[in-house]
Amino acid sequence: MYQTSSKNLGLSGQRNPKLNGNFKVSASINLAEESKMPKLTAESTWHFEM
């Protein structure tokens, strides 16, 4: 995804395995900033039966 107004570039991937839950990894970078340091995010969801 690229937003032209803010010059943000982002990527996202998600995996839904059959056991235990799912996870998602995202990365974004602001191309207007000098440092161009990416922001990385990881999310995990677990399914438990009680």
* Secondary structure (DSSP) of 1-50: -EETTTTEEEEEEEE--SSSEEEEEEEEEETTSSS-PPEEEEEEEE----
Number of domains in the chain: 1
Provide the pLDDT for residue 45: 87
Domain enclosing residue 16, as ranges:
2-46
Provide the pLDDT for residue 25: 95
Chunked into runs of 10 residues, the chain (50 residues) has average pLDDT values of 88 84 92 89 84
Provide the pLDDT for residue 12: 93
